[in-house]
């Protein structure tokens, strides 16, 4: 009888430990996001993150070996949220012009960066190679998504190279970095010029009859 009770208690205990671990990881990520947004990159040390989360630094190390792991996990979370927003915008059946397609990618991203200053602190090149690779991976996936949307809707010719859209993403990403260097809230004028630049470039691949409507 006692053996059966003990066996039944073990899974319950394991489940409680797992739930506590999930809550603590979430608290650490939320604390890191808040510190990055309020005080910038230099302030978001592992010790400060633990203090903000109400978790001893020694316990933080149980979940993340260093601050770079926290940053990478936070950036992955933000990338997932951005992926959903951009996907929804590109799925809009009213999307019928190149400019609208460019807006469908840039507008949600710009709004997200403004609402999540921590994302801008991590997103742009120069923090660490792991973060830069996460951003490159995200951009490649979104470029592929945009290329499919443009070709399937005949907004660009079917033989438009994927490379063209990938390069457009690289340029836009760098100009986003410029916008957030110019202003913590993102410089709207720089984003407007980014849209013009990317649209004009993709316009060179526009399907016949659509160039004047881009």
Q: What are the pLDDT digits (tens) for 101-118? A: 999 999 999 999 999 999
Task: Note every long-range contact of 42-49, with CB atoms under 8 Å and residues 24 or more positions apart, other chains counting.
Answer: 44/71, 44/121, 46/70
Q: How far apart are CA 95 and CA 89, in angstroms?
A: 9
What band does 4 get if pLDDT is binned at 50, 70 and 90? low
Q: Cβ distance 36 to 122 under 8 Å? A: yes
Q: Residue 211 pLDDT more than 80?
A: no
| pLDDT score at 8 | 58
Q: Residue 54 pLDDT more than 60?
A: yes
The count of other CB atoms within 10 Å of the CB of residue 22 is 11
What band does 2 get if pLDDT is binned at 50, 70 and 90? very low
Provide DSSP, 94-109. Answer: T--SHHHHHHHHHHHH
Q: Cβ distance 71 to 127 under 8 Å? A: yes
Paired tokens of 120: 């801008």
Distances (CA, A) of 61 to 41, 55, 128, 145: 19, 10, 20, 37
Q: pTM (2 decimals)?
A: 0.84
Q: Cβ distance 149 to 127 under 8 Å? A: no
Q: What are the pLDDT digits (tens) for 35-48? A: 999 999 999 999 99
| pLDDT score at 140 | 94
For CA atoms 118, 120, 121, 124, give the dihedral sign.
positive
The angle at the Cα of 34, spanning 32 to 37, to the nearest 5 degrees, equals 105
What band does 210 get if pLDDT is binned at 50, 70 and 90? low
């Amino acid at each position: 009888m006692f053996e059966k009770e003990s066996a039944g208690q073990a899974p319950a205990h394991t489940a409680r430990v797992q739930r506590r671990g999930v809550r603590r990881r979430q608290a650490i990520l939320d604390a890191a996001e808040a510190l990055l947004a309020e005080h910038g990159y230099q302030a978001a040390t592992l010790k400060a993150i633990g203090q903000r989360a109400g978790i001893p630094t020694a316990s933080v190390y149980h979940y993340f070996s260093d601050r770079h792991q926290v940053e990478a996990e936070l950036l992955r979370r933000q990338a997932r949220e951005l992926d959903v927003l951009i996907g929804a915008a590109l799925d809009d059946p009213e999307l019928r012009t190149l400019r609208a397609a460019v807006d469908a990618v840039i507008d949600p991203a710009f709004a997200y960066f403004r609402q999540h200053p921590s994302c801008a602190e991590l997103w742009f090149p120069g923090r660490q190679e792991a973060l830069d690779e996460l951003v490159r991976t995200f951009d490649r996936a979104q470029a592929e998504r945009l290329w499919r949307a443009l070709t399937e809707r005949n907004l660009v010719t079917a033989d438009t190279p994927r490379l063209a859209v990938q390069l457009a993403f690289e340029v836009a990403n760098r100009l986003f970095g410029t916008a957030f260097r110019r202003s913590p809230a993102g410089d709207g004028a720089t984003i407007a010029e980014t849209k013009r630049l990317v649209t004009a470039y993709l316009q060179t691949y526009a399907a016949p009859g659509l160039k004047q409507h881009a």
